[in-house]
Amino acid sequence: MGRALELAERGRGTTSPNPMVGCVLAQGDEIVGEGWHQRAGEPHAEVLALRSAGTRGRGATAYVTLEPCDHQGRTPPCSEALISAGVARVVVATLDPDARVAGRGLERLRAAGIEVTLGVLEDEARVHNAAYLTQRRTGRPWVRYKTAMTLDGKIATRTGRSRWITGVESRALVQRWRHEHDVVAVGVTTVLRDDPMLTARVADGRTPHKLVFDSVARTPVQAALFEADAYGVRARVTIATGPGAPAARVAALRERGATLLQSDDGRGRPSVQQTLAWLAEAGALSLLLEGGGTLAWSFAEAQAIDRVAWFVAPKLLGGGGASPLGGLGVATMDEALTLERTEVRRVGEDLLVEGDLRYPAWVVEAAAQTESAAQTDGAANTAGSAGADGGAAAVAAAPAAPAAAGSTAAPAHISSTTAPAPTGSTTAPAHIGSTTAAPAVEGED
């Protein structure tokens, strides 16, 4: 099973919206076939391992990192492939929570007389496929919050300059993470201050879908994030706005090629929970949150950060600069958010502290109340470019996912690496907001 997990890891960054899966076929102690899922729409790990084994797959034991699928998607069911090949035993690390599978794959195997063992290296498999499992269980992408600060806790100089806090090695790691995540998210203040491209500058890298939380549509149409990446792939951009975003600004951004998503968190800002739910419906499994601090606190309040990656650079800036985490903060130490399964390592000259975020009771209760209110109000409205059917424009060129409640059309899978040119209409939908200018929302990143 350890070898199967190693194989599955080779698919990181290329299999979404599918999970990463590895499969090893063995006759006794001898490996006779191997395979891993390499890309969505292509053969699954079990099928590739069976092809590798040939006739030696009959009577073999199959070690699979995730329960074999039992439904017809873009490829046939893996459960049927294993049965047809005549394997004698299937060892599975963990169940697939997808409603189309959820134990059915194992039931099909057992019904065919195949011995099934479940739970081998289950913890490791769950960590490995955390993005897929989180999305299927919670209905939102798995979120990693990445931030960086100096040793004295600063994220910029007194003049607002932040390039570069960390060293070359840390920045290269972040580029790799962008390739591995489906979405990269920032607040509009980051766009206005730094004008980032948000591309994945790695060899054969995949630039993620770009998401900007921008309450009143202040993102400039000439922002660098709209530019194609180094491979000429057109940027895929979504702007999440609040209810007061002026229609004229929205129309300009839509004309530039962005998809506009409007929701309300009750404070005039886009709802984190509704935006993440829409992303999940569009096929996104993972999101890299790159700031800033106020937006990160909003994610934390929504119980929507799964893992923290905190770089600390050996530099001292002094002054009273901003913190990597903003918001109201907590009143007592008992209310603090804490990290579990913490790891500390050096990346070049920097330190990287990583851990899974553990939420205190007050966050859990507040997030549940917010989610309940959001469900009452209905899901967010999409205001993307209108296509021939009058619905919201596809986020990316890939098979459509089920429509989110309240949306006008099913968004396409967000994890595709290419997208069609927008066909935008020239008028903004009425529900986007008034045509008068609106001030920035106080404290917005």
Instruction: Name the region of 431 (left: φ>0; alpha: ψ -120 to 50; beta: rest).
Output: alpha
Which of the pair, 186 or 404, is modelled with greater confidence?
186
Instruction: Determine the average pLDDT of the residues in 281-287.
Output: 95
pLDDT score of 398 = 28
Contact 22, 5 (CB under 8 A): yes
- What per-residue confidence (pLDDT) applies to 106? 92
- With a cut of 60, say whether residue 279 has pLDDT above it: yes
Q: 440 versus 231: which is more confidently predicted?
A: 231
What pLDDT band is residue 389 in, cutting at 50, 70 and 90? very low
Q: What is 86-108 written as a DSSP string?
A: T-SEEEESS---STTTTTHHHHH
Q: Return the sign of the alpha-carbon dihedral for residues 307, 347, 157, 164.
A: negative
Contact (Cβ atoms closer than 8 angstroms) between residue 64 and residue 79: no
Mean pLDDT of 304-331: 90
pLDDT of residue 291: 78
User: Which residue shows structure tokens 């229609």?
Assistant: 247
- Which residues 6+ apart lie within 8 Å of 3 measured at CB? 22, 24, 31, 34, 63
237 token code pair: 């951009």
Q: What are 313's strand-pairing partners?
A: 150
Taking residue 102's Cβ as centre, other Cβ atoms within 10 Å add up to 15
CA angle 326–273–260, rounded 5-degree value: 95
Q: Tell me: the pLDDT tens digits for 221-256?
A: 999 999 998 888 899 999 999 999 999 999 999 999
Torsional sign, CA 58, 61, 62, 68: positive
- Mean pLDDT of the region 176-204: 92
- The DSSP code for 267 is S
Q: Which two tokens stand for residue 297?
A: 């606190």
Over the stretch 58-92, which tens digit does the pLDDT of each residue have? 999 999 999 998 876 667 789 999 999 999 999 99
Q: Which range, of 8-12, 183-187, 353-357, 401-405, averages the lowest pLDDT?
A: 401-405
Question: What is the mean pLDDT of the segment spanning 165-194?
Answer: 94
Q: How far apart are CA 225 and CA 228, in angstroms?
A: 8
The structure tokens 């506009």 sit at 260
Report the DSSP beta bridge partners of residue 143. Answer: 287
**pLDDT of 381 strictly over 60:** no
The per-residue pLDDT for range 120-176, each reduced to its tens digit, is: 999 999 999 999 999 999 999 999 999 999 999 988 888 888 889 999 999 999 999
Q: What percent of the chain lies above the pLDDT cut of 90? A: 64
Other Cβ atoms within 10 Å of 18 Cβ, number: 24
Catalytic residues: 46
